[in-house]
A = this chain, B = another copy of it.
Amino acid sequence: MSNGSSKSADRRRGENVAPVKKQKPARSGSPSLKSFPSRAIRAAERREAIIAAALDEFIARGYAATRLDDVAKRAGVAKGTIYLHFADKETLFQELIRTALGPLISRLAAPPPAGGSARAALERFAQIFVQEIVTTRRGDIVRLIIAEGARFPSVADFYYREVVARGMAAMRALIELGIARGEIRQQGLTRFPQIVVAPAMLAVIWQGLFGSQAPLDATEMLRVHLDLIFGERGTT
């Protein structure tokens, strides 16, 4: 791993470390009264701080090259504290993925197709996808899973069950709706909802690898893709 020839390992050290140090509750007046940020709450905060810091580090360096010392520093915590919350590095990584995926999962479960057109639903999906994933930290998480998933079967399994399988099911329902309403002609799409999602995935990867040298207008690309699916002639 990192080492030897002055790797750029500690390039950006301490400055961006948010010192969440000793934020004493200050309710220390009467020992008989309980202090406000109850222990459980402070513990939960620490846990979250560790997860947030670890996410940043794992995204930036990948699993193997991430140092728990750095995670601790970034979280404003001693290394030993990490071990009060997580059994080991791998557990931290796995729980982190779970935590990070939580919001995405609930979002997948929430939005029902409603009674509108399939095109409208897919357009909404595309818009949300771009502004909440391609552009943001969540895109990094997806890339992280793609990068490390093969080495962490449990992570890949979890991701498949909780995100991919559900996403595919939801997408298939949308496609069937579109076919039923006569918006979509290509019936084969039902068997491969992946085709509908593929450009979105590609956008995530593209942005991560080539974003700086050849940015991709994901929004526009997805619009063209929907035109393809719904059979509209391109404008230009």
Contact = CB atoms under 8 A, between A and B. Distances in A.
B198 A236 contact: no
A36 interface: no
Contact of A216 (B149, B194, B227): B194
Interface residues of A, number: 62
Contact of A143 (B150, B188, B232, B235): B150
A221 B236 contact: no
Contact of A195 (B1, B191, B199): B199
A185 B150 contact: no
A199 B190 CA distance: 15
A146 B224 CA distance: 25
B195 A225 contact: yes
A33 to B, nearest CB: 43
Interface string A176-187: 000000000111
B185 A233 contact: yes
A150 B209 contact: yes
Residue in A88, A147, A164, A188 with the greatest tally of chain B CB atoms within 10 Å: A188
A169 interface: no
Contact of A64 (B2, B88, B149): B2
A177 to B, nearest CB: 16
Across the A-B interface, the 7 shortest Cβ-Cβ residue pairs: A188-B234, A187-B234, A64-B64, A188-B224, A198-B198, A147-B147, A64-B65
Given A186-B228, A189-B228, 9 more contacts: A62-B63, A62-B64, A65-B151, A146-B146, A160-B209, A188-B223, A188-B227, A189-B224, A191-B236
16 contacts: A2-B64, A4-B88, A62-B151, A143-B150, A146-B146, A146-B205, A147-B147, A147-B148, A160-B209, A160-B214, A187-B234, A189-B234, A192-B224, A194-B202, A194-B216, A198-B202
Interface of A: 1-2, 4-5, 61-65, 88, 143, 145-151, 156-157, 159-160, 164-165, 185-192, 194-195, 197-199, 201-203, 205-206, 208-210, 213-214, 216, 220-221, 223-225, 227-229, 231-236
